[in-house]
Amino acid sequence: MVSRDGDWQTFAESSKHLVCIPDLDQALDYFNGEARFVVGRAVGLLRKQAAPELNEAIGSALELFLEEFDPESDAYASLEYEVENLESAVQHWEIVQEIEPKVLNADADTVVFSITVGAIVNFTGNFRYYVHDTVDRDEVYLGSDSKDVEQTVRLPLTVTIERNIDKEPAVERIDITPVRVVIGFGCIDPDWGPEE
């Protein structure tokens, strides 16, 4: 059984025939023991920089994901502001060591597994500043500015590879699960230019 409910977990601990697992990925991993070797080899090659095609495929998947990614922004300013747009660029990524890869599915041809990567991403926020005109009840534009921050984002990946690994894993598909991310820009304000 898969459940995070504390009562079910306590009940399962006292049962001889019932096992309660809190995580679906972990439960699927138990039923795909033979494929763990394939996943272990693929991840091992990836960590040793010996799987350039898989490495490039993950990098491309991260870039495509970030193009559509819409994280929250957290910033402090002396004026009202809005985020006009947010740009992102992956600087580096690596597999998160403390989260074990899990086998999700396997058949005669393919193996599907999950990993979590930590991606160092450069975020550029473009901010528009304004104040409310109490007379006209309008917004008065006061300039714009941009700010760069570098932040590590952890993203869960589901990777499908061919079961038979020759020199390196052959990638069939990579999916990235959206997660809640808040980008901290700290203190922001318009660039008023050099003081006269």
Q: Where are the domains of the chain?
A: 18-187
Average pLDDT, the chain: 85
| CA dihedral (185, 175, 117, 94) positive or negative | negative
Contact (CB, 8 A) for 183 and 73: yes
The closest alpha carbon to 114, from 96, 127, 128, belongs to 96
Average pLDDT over residues 45-63: 93
Query: Confidence band (pLDDT; 50, 70, 90) for 54?
Result: very high
Predicted confidence at residue 193, as pLDDT, reads: 59
- Residues found in the chain: 196
What residues form DSSP beta bridges with 146?
126
Report pLDDT digits (tens) over 84-110: 889 999 999 999 999 999 988 888 889
Comparing 118 with 29, the larger pLDDT belongs to 118
In this predicted structure, the answer to whether residue 174 has a pLDDT above a threshold of 90 is yes
pLDDT tens-place string over residues 127-159: 988 887 777 777 778 888 889 999 999 999 999
pLDDT of 175 over the 80 cut: yes
Reply yes or no on whether the pLDDT at 118 is more than 60: yes
Q: In the prediction, which pLDDT does 21 show?
A: 72
34: its two tokens: 């033979």
